[in-house]
Structure formats: C-alpha cells, structure tokens
Amino acid sequence: MKNLFLSLLDLIYRKKCYFCSSSKYSLKMCPKCYSELTFSGAKPCRIIDSVNVYSCGIYEKTLQKLIRGLKYHKQKELAFYLAEFMNDYWQKINDTRDFQVVPTPLHKNRIKKRKYNHMELTAEEFCKMTGYSLNTELIKRIKDTKPQYTLTRKERLINLSQAFEVDISKDLSKPVLILDDICTTGATFEEMIKTLQNAGIKEIVCLASSSPCS
C-alpha cells in the first residue's frame, strides 16, 4: 500500500517538459527537446568596436520557446537549460581568459514589473558551469528604455543612448563576458561596449543565446 501511495505521488508531482509535456524524465526540459536546439557556427556573428559578438543559435522553434518561457512566462527553471545551451556553445570558442560574467541589466522599473532579470538567472547558472565569477554590479541600466522589438536600428541606438553606467569602484581590470538573450541589430551590446570602454575596460566579449539568423 505504501509503495502504491508513493508511486501515485510520484506520478502526480513529476515535472512535465515545458516543450512536449512528457513526464518521462521529470525535467522542465527533457533530453529530446534539448537535442532539438541547434548551434550556430563557432565564429563571431558580428564585430562591434573590435569586440567579438557570438550568437549561440537562431531565434526560432524550441530555442525561441525556451527564451520566451524564461523571459515572459515566469518559467525560471528554464534558466538552467538556456545557460547549458550557452555553455555548450561557449566551449567551442577557444578563449581561455578568466572572465567576469555581466548579464545585460534591466532598469529597476522593468524589474519591478517582471520581478526578475532572466539573464541574471541564466548568468548565475552559466557561472556555475564555467567557474567564472558573476558581476551584476559592474554596469547598471539607468535609463528606462522602450522595448526594442518594434524599433529600427537607428531608433534602437537613440533609445539606448546613455542608458548604462559603470560603477568604477568595481573590478575594471578583469575581462568581461556580456550575456544577453537575443542579438538582433547589436544595439544593446554596442551601447554597453561603448560604456565599458569609456570606463577603461578593453577586454570584452559578447555572447547572445540567439540571433534572428545565422
């Protein structure tokens, strides 16, 4: 009777895959769905002010659902799988420097509305996997910018102008690896790079989990 009861509890409380609803593995993302994520080539998708920008995959299908679930639908457990995807890609890049990881910051008003920064959650998991240090205090978003997805590249650059500020009391000597979810035009990375470089930080790499195309 006890075994039957435990089996029933296990059946009820097993996690379902967010993508296919399978409870076979009791995981938020089952191995089959994770295997559907495809990587971009191990080379920069663009170079901004001499800084390499990498994109791990294309923003479509399973990867798109992964990012949107984490970002908009409070599926915080998905941060682990996005970090795993980004780490699997990052291992293909031959860069042996000891980075401090900087997730793209949100303005305090956006945090208040959303309750969390999905890229901070992802960066925490990413650092556990890589052994890098996490730095969420180095650069802040001081301008409450409009959502970017409806804007042209020119409008994005204007929207993001002077949006960030570096805390010069933090470590400015260690190489910086910026993490973001989507690199569309590169405007967010561009403004962050400019702000960091103006503060004297020269060793920067950018890593986005996805871009609209390879």
The more confident residue out of 91 and 2 is: 91
Q: Are residues 22 and 47 in the same domain?
A: no
Q: Are residues 47 and 10 in the same domain?
A: no
Name the DSSP letter for residue 204.
E
Q: Are residues 79 and 14 in the same domain?
A: no
- Mean pLDDT over the full length of the chain: 92
**Other beta carbons within 10 Å of 95:** 11
Q: What is the pLDDT of residue 95?
A: 96
Which pair of tokens denotes residue 175?
Answer: 């190489």
Q: Are residues 87 and 29 in the same domain?
A: no
- CATH code, domain with 79: 3.40.50
Task: Name residues whose C-beta falls within 8 Å of residue 204's C-beta, 6 or more positions apart in sequence.
Answer: 51, 175, 176, 177, 178, 193, 196, 197
Q: What is the pLDDT of residue 25?
A: 94
Whether the pLDDT of residue 17 is over 90: the answer is yes
Q: Are residues 6 and 80 in the same domain?
A: no
Q: Model-level pTM?
A: 0.90
Whether the pLDDT of residue 3 is over 80: the answer is no
Q: What is the pLDDT of residue 13?
A: 64
Average pLDDT value for residue range 31-38: 97
Q: Are residues 25 and 75 in the same domain?
A: no
User: Using one digit for the tens of pLDDT, what is the confidence trace for 58-100?
Assistant: 999 999 999 999 999 999 999 999 999 999 999 999 899 999 9
User: Using one digit for the tens of pLDDT, what is the confidence trace for 120-159?
Assistant: 999 999 999 999 999 999 999 999 887 777 778 888 878 7
Cα separation, 72 vs 159, whole angstroms? 22
Instruction: Provide DSSP, 158-182.
Output: HHHTT-EEE-TTS--SS-EEEEEEE
The more confident residue out of 6 and 72 is: 72
Cα separation, 59 vs 7, whole angstroms? 39
Q: How many domains does the chain have?
A: 2
Backbone φ and ψ for 197, nearest 5 degrees, come out as: -65, -35
Q: Are residues 76 and 161 in the same domain?
A: yes
Q: Are residues 1 and 93 in the same domain?
A: no
Print the domain residue range for 10. Answer: 1-34
Q: Are residues 189 and 106 in the same domain?
A: yes
Q: Are residues 25 and 100 in the same domain?
A: no
Q: Are residues 125 and 204 in the same domain?
A: yes
Which pair of tokens denotes residue 32?
Answer: 């089959």
User: pLDDT-based confidence at 6, cuts 50/70/90?
Assistant: very low
Q: Are residues 16 and 58 in the same domain?
A: no
Whether the pLDDT of residue 14 is over 90: the answer is no
